[in-house]
Structure formats: C-alpha cells, structure tokens
Amino acid sequence: MSEPDKFEDDLLYALTRTGEGFRTEPSDLLAGGYRRGRRRWRRRSTAAVVGGAAALALVGTGAVYLTGSSPRPSTVPAAAPSTAGGSGSAAPASSASASASAPPAVSGDEVLAMFQALLPKGETTGGTGTGTGAEPGRPYGGGIAATASLVFDDGKGKSAMGISLGRLADGDPNRAENDCPDKKLVQYDACSATTLPDGGTLTVLQGYEYPDKRATTKWWNAKLIGKDGRQVELSEWNSPAEKGSPDSRPKPPLTPEQLKAIVTDKSWDRVIASIPDPVPVKPRDSGKEYDKDEILAIVAKLLPAGLTETETGGQPGYANFVVDDGKGKSLVEINVQDWSRDDKTKEELFGSAQAQPDGTRVVVGKRGSNPGMWTVDTLHADGLRVVISAFNSGTQQTPATRSTPALSTDQLLAIPTAGVWMLRTLGAGRGRAPGVGAPGALPCGGGVGVRAAGPRGG
C-alpha cells in the first residue's frame, strides 16, 4: 500500500470513530499519551506531510486529509486586511435546496492567494493550497476543508506558515472548546482566549513546537471558532519548517494582533460558505458520565492524610491536580471511562492482568525519570476503566523536582480500586457514586476539524 493510500485509510477509520467513545491503544497509556486525558490542545499533536504538499491532521477523534497543488514562488506586496472582528454568518443551510444553491467552490490556488494577500510585505515560496471543490482521488471527493501553506520571509528570516478552514456541525463539542491549554500539561509563553462581539471565540497561543522545549522552535497559533461553526486556524514558526530545521529568527514574524486579523478577516466568508455541511455529531450519552468536579470530589476523599488537591483542572472523564507533601509538587491525573464493550484493545491491555478478588484487573507501570510517571490502570468487573498517574514534577513537561511522585504505588492503587467507582447505565441519573453528589460525565465523541501543517523539514 502506498503512503498516500495508507493516510486515506487512516482518515476513513478516524472519521468513522467521530462521536464514538474514546479509546486508547495500550502502548499509548504507559508511553504517556493516555495520561494527558483528552485535553483539547492535543488536537495539534499528530500531523504528517506527504510530498511536501499534503497533511493528515488528527483532531480529537476525527481527521481531515489535506492534499495540495504544486509549489510556486511569489512576492507579496503590502496589503491591509479588511475589517477584522467578524466570524461571519455565511454558512449554507443543511437542506437539499441549500445544496442546490450552494456558492461555487473556491480553488486551492484562490485560497493560497487570499492567504498571501493578508500577509504583510515580504516574499513567499513553496506555496500550496487545497480548495473546496470536488477532486477525484481525494477522500469523500474533496471539498470538506480548505488549506494553504507557505514559507514567508520579511527580510528577517524565513517562517513556515499554514492556515486551515473548516466547519463544525451544530452540537459539535469542539465549538465550545476554544480556550488556553492547562499549563500543567502544555508549556507556553503566553495565551489569550476571548469572546468576539458576534459570539465567536478566539484563542491566540505563543508556544513551542515541542511542549517540553527539547527544541527551541516556537509555534504561534490563532484559532477562531465562529458562531456559525467555522473553524479558522493559523500557525507560524520561527523556522522555515515545522520540524527538522534550525531556527531562522528569534520569533515568528506575525504578532498576536496580526494573527487575529488574518483568521477573523471577512475575505474567508466565501470559502466557508462553499464548504459542504459537516456530518452531524452523535450526541454524548451524558447520563452515564462522570465530570471533572465529581472525579475530583471522589479522589479528594481517597487521598492519604495530609495531601490536598490544588491547581485543579480537567474536562469530562478526566481530572488533574497537584499535591505537595512538603518535598515538592507532584502532578496527579485520573481518567474514568466506559470500557464495557468487548474489543481487541481491552484484551491486549488487560488480558494477562492480575485480577483482584472483586474481579478488578490491574496493570502497574513506571516510566522515565525527568519527569517520571507512575501509573495504575484498572478495569473493573462492570467495565469501568479508571486510570491514575502521578509525576515527580508539578507538570508533565518540566524536569523532576523530587526523586519519586508524592503518592506511592500502593497509595495510587487504593484510589482506582476503591468501591466508590461504578459503571453507570444510560438513564440511571447522575451523582450515583456513594458519598458524592456532584453531577458526572464520562468522555465520549468529538468533532472533525483541521490543522494545516506548515512545510516540514527532515
């Protein structure tokens, strides 16, 4: 199978999982992927470029496969963006009549030209774009997103840039997930999250290509989610490639205000209007779920004496907090999920696990040292999976501040194996865990979005 064909197969698999319960591969868990929960900013963690002109960008549990046109150099004159601040309202209606009168498709070359026109004075090279028209050979016939990527040089050093445009369906939880990442999980220099006058949301992040800063390459990103469901995301780097190239300048060329002006520019209205209606999102079975606050309340009662949850965070099915026993901060994370369905992944992970008297199967693991992570992964007899991890640092990314986590393996084991955890059935109501009255949530589903990758080195 060719590499592009493999990516298309990956796309189709990812899209069929949109809206389904979240699963992780067993190798991901002890490698540290699952410990991150389902945090929102992991949407940018996986991207691959094919032939320098295509990308498979995984977002949550969905994906979009991006293909591009041939590169072409150009010079961009100074151009002032049109009035910023609007996220537009030109989304086509979800009906057959709307499809018949949908605006004409926008070509990849047009998307690239529009992007170039919004940039300050400078030279661009290696430009590629994908449009919203049907193209043979593209997944679903193409047209589900638009992208452009290029290398920009304002005379102070080359910078890889990429922009993507897509639409989120009504009810897609990603519409409400546009805020700054938890600094315990992702290291960055600055971030702002604002609500625009028209009801759209905008996040501007000044971070790093590698959150652990193992390379100095900076990644700055602006993401607009409009009231009409549009998602416009712009990324830039202080390097001519997203990965694998030396830094060419101290920081990316576009300021946060310039990033905002480009993603909110009204010229994108025509592109958004020509994107077909997104696939409806399957509603979450929220009646079965544990939410962040409920998980925190349960764990607070199970912590050893003298330890208190601080710096709490999380989302449905996932919570994190920091404890300090006087020897330094220690990050703790816990995931709670419905794993009652039979599948291959469950057997791979728990098939040989030791079972406790009540039927709970347990897997214990330790990895790394700087920082190190200790994990206890449990699958209860009713199918509820509860996983807890502790670090010898106050974050996932910063160096160890202590020799071991604040919780021993036995203390970690006592939390997910406690009798308070139980699988809920739809309609059973919330707040059923003994001694806990807060409403609950288990993670489920996710939407489809896009992230355009810049030119990739190496």
pLDDT at position 216: 92
Calpha distance 410→424 (Å, rounded):
27
Q: List, edge to edge, every strand of the sheet that includes 188-195.
A: 72-76, 122-130, 146-153, 158-167, 230-237, 218-225, 201-208, 188-195
Alpha helix (H) ranges present in 95-223? 96-100, 108-117
E-assigned strand segments in 15-121: 47-49, 55-59, 62-66, 72-76
Do 258 and 297 belong to one domain? no
Residue 40 included in any domain:
yes
Give the tens place of pLDDT for each residue, 8-32: 333 333 322 222 233 333 333 333 3
Residue 447 included in any domain:
no
Calpha distance 342→132 (Å, rounded):
39
Domain of residue 385, CATH code: 3.40.1000
Do 74 and 101 belong to one domain? yes
Residue 246 included in any domain:
yes
| 108's tokens | 């990849």
Residue 77 has pLDDT above 70, yes or no: no
Do 258 and 392 belong to one domain? no
Q: What's the longest Cα–Cα distance across the chain?
A: 72
Do 98 and 56 belong to one domain? yes
pLDDT at position 134: 79
Domain count, the chain: 2
Residue 436 included in any domain:
no
Residue 144 included in any domain:
yes
Do 187 and 296 belong to one domain? no
Do 295 and 257 belong to one domain? no
Do 12 and 150 belong to one domain? yes
Residue 235 included in any domain:
yes
Residue 76 has pLDDT above 90, yes or no: no
| 281's tokens | 């999102």
Give the tens place of pLDDT for each residue, 240-274: 999 989 999 999 999 999 999 999 999 999 999 99
Residue 444 included in any domain:
no
Do 301 and 218 belong to one domain? no
Q: Which residue, of 380, 397, 414, is where some domain finishes?
A: 414
Using DSSP, state whether 109 is helix, strand or coil: helix
Do 219 and 313 belong to one domain? no
E-assigned strand segments in 308-455: 310-315, 318-324, 329-338, 354-355, 361-367, 373-379, 384-391
Residue 4 has pLDDT above 60, yes or no: no
Do 180 and 247 belong to one domain? yes
pLDDT at position 131: 93
Average pLDDT over residues 400-422: 95
Do 63 and 208 belong to one domain? yes
**In this structure, which amino acid lies at residue 287?**
G
pLDDT at position 365: 93
Give the structural domain span for 384.
290-414
pLDDT at position 28: 39
pLDDT at position 141: 63
Closest C-alpha among 38, 15, 32, 12 to residue 291: 38
Do 269 and 300 belong to one domain? no
Q: What b/e string do you get for 250-282 counting C-beta neighbours within 10 Å, with b at 16 or more? A: ebbbbeeebbbbbbbbeebbbbbbbbbbbbebe
Partnered with residue 373 across adjacent β-strands are 367, 391
Angle at alpha carbon of residue 245, lines to 241 and 251, rounded to 5°: 70
Q: Specify the range with the lowest mean pLDDT, choosing from 49-58, 69-78, 226-235.
A: 49-58
